[in-house]
Structure formats: structure tokens, C-alpha cells
Amino acid sequence: MEQALDITLTVNGVEVSRRVAARTHLVDFLREELDLTGTHAGCEQGVCGACTVRVNGDIVRGCLMLAVQADGCRVDTVEGLSDSKELAALQQAFHEKNALQCGFCTPGMLMAAQDLIKQKRPFTREQIRAHLSGNYCRCTGYQAIVDAIEEVLDGQG
């Protein structure tokens, strides 16, 4: 497991090549090697969802994937989706609805929520909750988060 491997991947639209230890997790690679610290490492066992990122368009746990497994993949983080304005409506709604307090879970929440919003169809509150069931928030009690997501979904008409 001490072996190092060369990987090349596209992170937020930019191609990066690095030599990484086989044991390095994707989330640690993003945070420590690329200084993309928006993605948070929480429980490191796949439960809390703070490390949610997109790999080839699908949301995944950054702590349950090794960086070497992302070789050749397209990875998008909360920084990339913020810069591209894809998250703008959701971020505005989170702000207005008080959908965060400490903010630790927020990047993961935004990534998971945007996964619903980009499907461009309506979802019930129950479906929103089911989709966010893998993202823990210890501050808000979730109501405001679901409110914010619902508002963005409604705004899409």
C-alpha cells in the first residue's frame, strides 16, 4: 500500500497530473495536494456526506474513493460548481433560508442537492429528504435546507 502511482485527472475543468500514494483518498488529494479545501473530510467512513464531490458527473463520497481510482476521470468540487455559477441559485436560497449555521456540511449538502436540481424535474419534500439522507447536518434540523432546495426546484417551474 506504500506504492506511488502517476495519475492524470480533470479537476474543475483543469487537467492535473500528480504522483500519489496508492492509499491517498480522493478527498485528501483534493484538499492537501490541490488546496481545494471546500470539500470537507468528516467521518471518513461514508456516513456523513461532507466529502461529496462529482466524479464523471455522478456524486460520490470523496472519502470512499482513492485518488488513484479517479485516474482519467472528470472531478468537480464545490469550488468548480461555484465558479461556474451552477450553484448560484442554491447558494442564494441557502443564505436566504438560513439553511446553514456552522457550514461544515454545506459543501456536501450543495453537491447532493444540486444532483437533484440538475435533473430539472419536480421532487416532493419526501424525495428531497431521501436524496439528502446521506448528508448529515448537526445544526439546522434540516427543515431550512429542504426549504431552500424546494425553493430552487419551484423556481425552475
Partner 1 sequence: MKPRSLDEALEVLERHGEGARVLAGGQSLIPSLNMRLSSPELLVDISSIGSLKGITLDQDVVRIGALVTHAELERSAEIARHVPLLAEAVRHVAHPAIRNRGTLGGSLALADPAAEYPACALALEATIFISGKRGERGVKAAHFFKGLFETDLKPGEIVTAVEVPAQLDGERSVFLELARRQGDYAIVGLAAFRGAETRFAFFNVGPKPVLAKNAALKKSLAEAKEALKADLLVTGDLYTDAATKQHLAGVLLERAWNKLSTSH
- Which parts of the chain are beta strand (E)? 4-11, 14-21, 52-55, 58-61, 74-76
The yes or no reply on residue 42 touching partner 1 (CB under 8 A) is no
**Pairwise CA distance, residues 152 & 108, whole Å:** 17
Least Cα distance to 37 among 27, 48, 25, 45 occurs for: 27
Q: Choose one: 11-19, 81-89, 125-133, 149-157; the region binding partner 1 (CB under 8 A).
A: 125-133
- Of 52, 77, 106, 114, the one binding partner 1 (CB under 8 A) is 52
Binding mask 78-117 for partner 1 (x = CB under 8 A): ----------------------------------x--x--
Q: Choose one: 41-49, 74-82, 85-93, 139-147; the region binding partner 1 (CB under 8 A).
A: 41-49
The answer for residues whose C-beta is within 8 angstroms of residue 132's C-beta and 6 or more apart is 49, 109, 112, 113, 142, 145, 146, 149
The yes or no reply on residue 18 touching partner 1 (CB under 8 A) is no
Q: Which residue type is seen at 47? A: V
**Residues that bind partner 1 in the complex, under the rule CB under 8 A:** 1, 22-23, 25, 44-46, 49, 52, 55, 58-61, 63-66, 68-69, 112, 115, 129-131, 133-135
